[in-house]
Amino acid sequence: MRVLFVTPECAPLTKTGGLGDVAAALPAALRAQGNDVRVLLPRYREIDPAGAEERAQLRLLGMDVRVLEKGDCLLVDAPALYDRDGNPYQDAAGVDWPDNALRFGLLSRVAALLAGSASPLAWRPEVLHCNDWPTALAPVYLHFEPARSGTVMTVHNLAFQGIFDAALLERLELPRATFAIEGVEFYGRLSFLKGGLVYADAISTVSPTYAREILTEELGCGLDGVLRERRGVLRGILNGVDGEIWNPMTDPHIAERYSWTSLERKAANKLALQSRLNLAPEPQAPLLGMVGRFTHQKGVDLLAGAVDELVQLGAQVCVLGHGEHEHEAALSAAAARHPGRVACAIGFNEELAHLIEAGADMFLMPSRFEPCGLNQMYSQRYGTPPVARATGGLIDTIMDGETGFLFAPAESAALVAAVTRALAIYGDARRWRELQRRGMTRDFSWAGPARQYAGLYAAHARAPVP
């Protein structure tokens, strides 16, 4: 199967969250199963064009664009839009780029071109796989092509929709007819994601539970009606773990490597983490870790509200992340209140994220909603049982009391209660080890999910007329 996988981020080239990991690991797993998958993304400043070959020169949406090929990637090169400091979505100060509609409209437009009959490339995909709102206009553009590949739209997070002023319709060269209830119109504005959900042949999201949750008003982010209408083509396929990158036996970022048969070596990572973050070097104190975007979604405020009690319980807490200012401030204040017991590292740091997975005793994910979540799977592999809210993919990947701990109310007290439950088992070394080993020996590989995607592709493949 020839698949064009279009994404706004792909690790290690550029990553802000889980989609970056998925965009690297899923195409690789599909290739290992014999599929021909190319990843299309913008040529951001951090992506070195050295070694890339030009495949096409185009004029699209009034812009000069080149398509470059580098390894398995196709890069959309439009320096005026993508050659900047900052991340794919925001400037260095964390403010959304003002021209995001054009930046990701162009990404979608190029994807549609390469998946349609007018493609300048000899390589023609049978399926275009779109990921999240920055790619979601591609099925809209393709809908109007005389011949095209099949389209799959994956929702990694329904809360981000790409909603812009309707006046941009013309700038994005979208047919007037698309500005309708059965199209990109969303309360008088232009919604990228809605367009993808309406026009794609198939829709998937990243866990079976989230696939059900987004049909409800509570978690449907205003699109539950659209999704209910399309529920016949909606699937939930769980993410996997890239076992080459997230593996405590081979991880180059951690202080000491270990496996489920040498768990005693995990202690060296805890000590390294404590010393790195200026926490008291106490081997017995349960160390709770968290890594993630500091947003309402991740329940960072639930943790901030629980920290004092967690310290009371004898725990140490360390968090790594960045994002909304109020969350950064609340966690930094907690660290200041509890020197040596609570540490807060602000920023994005791949290596420290690995050390936290390895060095912490438990991993916290108090998410309000979580489409899939990757860290709880990583943490199980690292023998660091997750304590998480029972929502979305966290429900599908954590066995409560067996490989981790789940709690229901989105409240600090419920988080504290779950940690208390975990601590009771932590105090019993034999039981804790069993819990760790059960998590470490689970199969979270991408092989199974990749086969499910391949099945989805097969059901919707189409060959564009050459």
| β-strand partners of 53 | 69
Residue span binding ligand ADP (CB under 6 A) among the ranges 40-48, 224-232, 345-353, 382-390: 345-353
Site size for ligand GLC, by CB under 6 A? Answer: 14
Identify the residue among 353, 398, 418, 450 touching ligand ADP (CB under 6 A). Answer: 353
Examine residue 293 and tell whether it contacts ligand ADP (CB under 6 A): yes
Identify the residue among 27, 196, 248, 371 touching ligand GLC (CB under 6 A). Answer: 371
Q: Shortest distance, CB of residue 34 to ligand ADP, whole angstroms? A: 27
Examine residue 156 and tell whether it contacts ligand GLC (CB under 6 A): yes
- The tokens for 380 are 């199980």
Q: How many CB atoms lie within 10 A of CB 221?
A: 17
Site size for ligand ADP, by CB under 6 A? Answer: 18
Residue carrying structure tokens 């990404």: 107
Examine residue 208 and tell whether it contacts ligand GLC (CB under 6 A): no
Nearer to ligand GLC, 142 or 238 (CB): 238
Residue span binding ligand ADP (CB under 6 A) among the ranges 13-21, 72-80, 442-450, 458-466: 13-21
Q: Which 3-state string (H, E, C) describes the chain?
A: CEEEEECCCECCCECCCHHHHHHHHHHHHHHHCCCEEEEEEECCCCCCCCCCEEEEEEEECCEEEEEEEECCEEEEECHHHHCCCCCCCECCCCCECCCHHHHHHHHHHHHHHHCECCCCCCCCCCEEEEECHHHCCHHHHHHCCCCECEEEEEECCCCCCCEECCCHHHHCCCCHHHCCCCCCEECCEEEHHHHHHHHCCEEEECCHHHHHHCCCCCCCCCCHHHHHHCHHHEEECCCCCCCCCCCCCCCCCCCCCCCCCCHHHHHHHHHHHHHHCCCCCCCCCCEEEEEEEECCCCCHHHHHHHHHHHHHCCCEEEEEEEECHHHHHHHHHHHHHCCCCEEEEECCCHHHHHHHHHHCCEEEECCCCCCCCCHHHHHHHCCCCEEEECCHHHHHHCCECCCEEEECCCCHHHHHHHHHHHHHHHCCHHHHHHHHHHHHCCCCCCHHHHHHHHHHHHHHCCCCCC
The binder of 206, among ligand ADP, ligand GLC, none, by C-beta within 5 to 8 A per type, is ligand GLC
Q: Shortest distance, CB of residue 321 to ligand GLC, whole angstroms? A: 13
Examine residue 129 and tell whether it contacts ligand GLC (CB under 6 A): no
Nearer to ligand GLC, 18 or 321 (CB): 18
Nearer to ligand ADP, 286 or 323 (CB): 323
Q: Shortest distance, CB of residue 85 to ligand ADP, whole angstroms? A: 18
Nearer to ligand ADP, 42 or 386 (CB): 386
Examine residue 42 and tell whether it contacts ligand ADP (CB under 6 A): no
Among residue numbers 357 through 376, which ones bind ligand ADP (CB under 6 A)?
A: 372-375
The binder of 320, among ligand ADP, ligand GLC, none, by C-beta within 5 to 8 A per type, is ligand ADP
Identify the residue among 320, 334, 355, 422 touching ligand ADP (CB under 6 A). Answer: 320
Cβ contacts of 170 within 8 Å, gap of 6 or more = none
Examine residue 94 and tell whether it contacts ligand ADP (CB under 6 A): no
Residue carrying structure tokens 């997750």: 386
Examine residue 18 and tell whether it contacts ligand GLC (CB under 6 A): yes
Examine residue 292 and tell whether it contacts ligand ADP (CB under 6 A): yes
Examine residue 269 and tell whether it contacts ligand GLC (CB under 6 A): no
Q: Shortest distance, CB of residue 452 to ligand GLC, whole angstroms? A: 14
- CB-based contact 89:8 (threshold 8 Å): yes
* Distance in angstroms (rounded) separating the CA atoms of residues 89 and 74: 19
Sign of the CA dihedral running 275, 281, 284, 287: negative
Q: Shortest distance, CB of residue 18 to ligand GLC, whole angstroms? A: 3
Nearer to ligand ADP, 345 or 423 (CB): 345
Nearer to ligand ADP, 47 or 365 (CB): 365
The binder of 289, among ligand ADP, ligand GLC, none, by C-beta within 5 to 8 A per type, is none
Among residue numbers 42 through 101, which ones bind ligand GLC (CB under 6 A)?
A: none
Nearer to ligand GLC, 103 or 156 (CB): 156
Q: Residues in the site for ligand GLC, rule: CB under 6 A?
A: 17-19, 22, 156-157, 206, 239, 370-374, 393
Q: Residues in the site for ligand ADP, rule: CB under 6 A?
A: 17-19, 21, 291-293, 320-322, 348-350, 353, 372-375
